[in-house]
Structure 1
Amino acid sequence: MPPVHAARATGVTTLTLDSPANRNALSADLVRELRAALATAAADPAVRAVVLTHTGTTFCAGADLKSPCDPADFLALLREIAELPKPVVARVTGHVRAGGLGLLGVCDIAAAGPQSTYAFTETHLGLAPAVISIPLLPRLDPRAAARYFLTAEAFDAAEATRIGLLTLHADDVDKALAPVLAGLRKASPQGLAATKSLTAASVREAVARDGARLTELSAGLFASDEAREGITARFERRNPSWTL
């Protein structure tokens, strides 16, 4: 089965991440399929907005540690979402980890339900939230970003909203998103594209300025001895050797 499903209804294309075997992790296949689906939505004049959602209890578990996508391909995905001439709305009802937070952060609007949780787990694996920092740092409270990037603590939807990761959270995420999508359906394509170019400007600038450098950093960290130990320890369900 393809890891991404697309459906269109009344001006909104919904892209659903559906790769339960790896909790919608960022495999090469998922990133490729998502990029293709976004391009199709971008070319459709009847589409006013894209909703990005998921099956299962995890929106995205981050990098597929068994078969990770090329960091350059992931950067291209983030760039394409930021530059898409239509708003992308994240709908989250489950957990988001590591690279999945970059995917969430680059969306223009993000809404979540009460069961969702969030964690930047990279430092516990010998890695850093390098590429995903590009869309996130322009949007997050700086003190909160430093805390959660460094400690890998998990936090809930209320905290995610407070620090700027989410636009809103609600017990019924679909009810909360109804007026958002209604507003987007009434907007003109030109108006949406021009307005998004304003609101996503800082993210686009960060991609252009820092993308190559942080992609290189990410690739180097993944190839390091510490990362190999951290990832191996995760699969073996033990603490890595550096744990105190």
Structure 2
Amino acid sequence: MAERVEIFEMGPRDGLQNEPRLIPAADKIALVDLLSRAGFARIEVTSFVPPAWVPQMADAAEVMAGITRRPGTRYAVLTPNLRGYQAARAAGADIVAIFASASEGFSRANLNASISDSLARLAPVAEAARADGITLRGYVSMVTDCPFDGPTPPHAVARVAAALRDMGCSEISLGDTIGQGRPETVDAMLAAVLDDLPPDRLAGHYHDTAGRALANVDVSLARGLRVFDAAVGGLGGCPYAPGAAGNVATEALAAHLTARGFDHGLDMTILHRAAALARSLREAPMPDTIRIDTDPRGVATLWLARPDKHNALSRQMMDELTQAAARLGADPQVRVVVLAAQGASFCAGGDLGWMRQQMQADEATRREGARALAGMLSALNTLPKPLIARVHGNAFGGGIGMMAVSDIAIAASPAKFGLTEVRLGLIPATIGPYVLARMGEPAARRVFFSARIFDAAEAVTLNLAARAVAPEDLDAAIEAEIAPFLQAAPQAVAAAKAQCRALGPRIDAAAIEDSIDRLVATWQGPEAAEGIGAFFDRRKPAWQS
């Protein structure tokens, strides 16, 4: 059995604290909830610091009150003083973190105090945590280099780490805050600290400014450390540390640990969805491929908005749909989501230009692309709100996948449908688990690998659509499906939907990973190259007469 290495997720706090745009609390809650579902044992959610210090964390109490606490996950917050600790305790924090610097220059810039004075200030917090039985975690910053003082002597790091241990910190996280540490300097620092503390009391916290974070992780693994801090999406930075860039990306660290033969226990599909959401919070782009309209009742219409491409699924659309699902799921004002589309088609399936790029890429890039598609489908499938597909036009491939992950699909009677992937040398890979769950295997065998086009009436018999109606009756049919949900208790609806998934055909992480493997393998095959090439060459592939 592979040895376990824990990744301590820092993204919601350390990752977002330096963002200049104030991120809505609902978006932060959505991120934490996704990370909880990914399987983290510990997540640092926020910090109770004066808003004048870090404006991004002014909503700490609101965020802590809004997250859905998952059994098996402990939620940490950062506290600089006793007042912050008291607020953290009131908010139900499982772990409180305190911090000190190993360099005098940074201590004065960050805390306006010498190292010794800053440690003295932390003593009342540590005493209160011990009295209340709340776990205390310590951070040491600038463990290899400081933007004010230059290289940090290893003995200085060891001295501060020992002081935090003596205050009652159960674990000390050693932070290369500006990402300038090198394997040899990290190793020297660890050698000094390990003279005072065992490796199971330490964690590595390495920023990736210089691209050496994973190499520093390897050195730390060799020294016996088995806990590492990371931030999903590579978020991060420190407002008081010039030159500090993002933390090592959680998804990159997880992949690295897997390659090294360690077990991290995280659901990579959900983790990649969280990374996409995290990046969207940082960049806050206006979506180009989707649109969301929400009416006063709390009915949100999520529009596919690539009508000129028949709403084919590009990588950008996948990411924007994943992010939209997280936000809609976390928004308490949204009661029902309608998945609709602009233009003549509902969705033509995967964008063939994107698929061609995937086939020309290396295996890691192909796998990351397949995971993005799988993550989008999973995000829609697990949306904790009713999802109703308004299928006004043709749906092929991925379009059928989106119907399958919807709770209800209503189709306009002229619409045509087909799982046409095999015509191009591909297979319905990532949509497969959802299509089979919706249709059942015997029915799915009629259409899954024949590429046969079928009509809306047959879509109903295949359980893909609940009803087929005339185009002029489509909106009335959608409204008839919406109305009962608006009379039901929202949390009960979410719980009942989750129960349906639990009792129905299991689409677990293993099934999703298998679908990703199959898609990557298909992209690598000669038939896919011939089929996609023939499409762009406007000729028939070799297997068609």
Superposition TM-score, scaled by structure 2 size: 0.43
Matches within 5 A, 1:96-111: 96-111=395-410
Letter in 2 for 1:62: G
Equivalent residue for 2:340? 53
1:137 aligns with 2:450: no
Which 10-residue stretch deviates more, 64-73 or 111-120? 64-73
Letter in 2 for 1:237: R
> Equivalent of 1:205, from 506, 512, 524?
506
Instruction: Check conservation: 2:410, 2:466, Cα contact below 8 A.
Output: yes
1:212 Cα deviation (Å)?
A: 0.7
Residue 139 of structure 1: SS of its match in structure 2? helix
Equivalent residue for 2:376? 77
Letter in 1 for 2:320: E
Equivalent residue for 2:330? 43
Matches within 5 A, 1:61-72: 61-68=348-355, 70-72=369-371
Deviation by residue 1:33-60 (Cα, 9 ceiling, x = unmatched): 1111112211111111110000111111
1:237 Cα deviation (Å)?
A: 2.8
1:27 aligns with 2:279: no
The structure-2 alpha-carbon separation of the partners of 1:201 and 1:82, relative to structure 1 and needing over 3 Å to count, comes to farther
Residue 354 of structure 2: SS of its match in structure 1? coil
Matches within 5 A, 1:210-225: 210-225=511-526
Instruction: Check conservation: 1:104, 1:110, Cα contact below 8 A.
Output: yes
> Equivalent of 2:450, from 127, 151, 157?
151
Q: CA RMSD in A?
A: 1.6
Residue 62 of structure 1: SS of its match in structure 2? coil
In 1: Cα distance, 2:447 partner to 2:324 partner: 31
Residue 541 of structure 2: SS of its match in structure 1? coil
Deviation by residue 1:4-38 (Cα, 9 ceiling, x = unmatched): 00010111110000112321111111111111111
Equivalent residue for 2:489? 188
Equivalent residue for 1:3? 289
Which 10-residue stretch deviates more, 94-103 or 139-148? 139-148
Deviation by residue 1:82-140 (Cα, 9 ceiling, x = unmatched): 22211111001101011221111111111111121100111111111111111111110
In 1: Cα distance, 2:538 partner to 2:307 partner: 20
The structure-2 alpha-carbon separation of the partners of 1:145 and 1:182, relative to structure 1 and needing over 3 Å to count, comes to same
Instruction: Check conservation: 2:437, 2:505, Cα contact below 8 A.
Output: no
The structure-2 alpha-carbon separation of the partners of 1:36 and 1:4, relative to structure 1 and needing over 3 Å to count, comes to same
Letter in 2 for 1:13: A
Residue 150 of structure 1: SS of its match in structure 2? coil
Instruction: Check conservation: 2:292, 2:300, Cα contact below 8 A.
Output: yes
Instruction: Check conservation: 2:328, 2:334, Cα contact below 8 A.
Output: yes
Unaligned runs of 5+ in 1: none
Deviation by residue 1:200-231 (Cα, 9 ceiling, x = unmatched): 33678324231111101101211222101101
In 2: Cα distance, 1:110 partner to 1:191 partner: 22
> Equivalent of 2:538, from 222, 237, 244?
237
1:67 Cα deviation (Å)?
A: 1.5
Unaligned runs of 5+ in 2: 1-286, 359-368
Equivalent residue for 2:31? none
In 1: Cα distance, 2:526 partner to 2:478 partner: 44
Matches within 5 A, 1:155-194: 155-171=454-470, 172-194=473-495
The structure-2 alpha-carbon separation of the partners of 1:47 and 1:57, relative to structure 1 and needing over 3 Å to count, comes to same
1:114 aligns with 2:413: yes
In 2: Cα distance, 1:94 partner to 1:201 partner: 31
Residue 104 of structure 1: SS of its match in structure 2? helix
Instruction: Check conservation: 2:384, 2:494, Cα contact below 8 A.
Output: yes
In 1: Cα distance, 2:326 partner to 2:463 partner: 27
1:141 Cα deviation (Å)?
A: 4.0
In 1: Cα distance, 2:498 partner to 2:524 partner: 36
In 2: Cα distance, 1:224 partner to 1:202 partner: 36
In 2: Cα distance, 1:238 partner to 1:145 partner: 29
1:198 Cα deviation (Å)?
A: 2.1
1:63 Cα deviation (Å)?
A: 0.9
Letter in 2 for 1:120: L
- State how many pairs are aligned: 244
The structure-2 alpha-carbon separation of the partners of 1:203 and 1:35, relative to structure 1 and needing over 3 Å to count, comes to farther
The structure-2 alpha-carbon separation of the partners of 1:5 and 1:82, relative to structure 1 and needing over 3 Å to count, comes to same
Residue 60 of structure 1: SS of its match in structure 2? coil
The structure-2 alpha-carbon separation of the partners of 1:202 and 1:187, relative to structure 1 and needing over 3 Å to count, comes to same
1:14 aligns with 2:301: yes
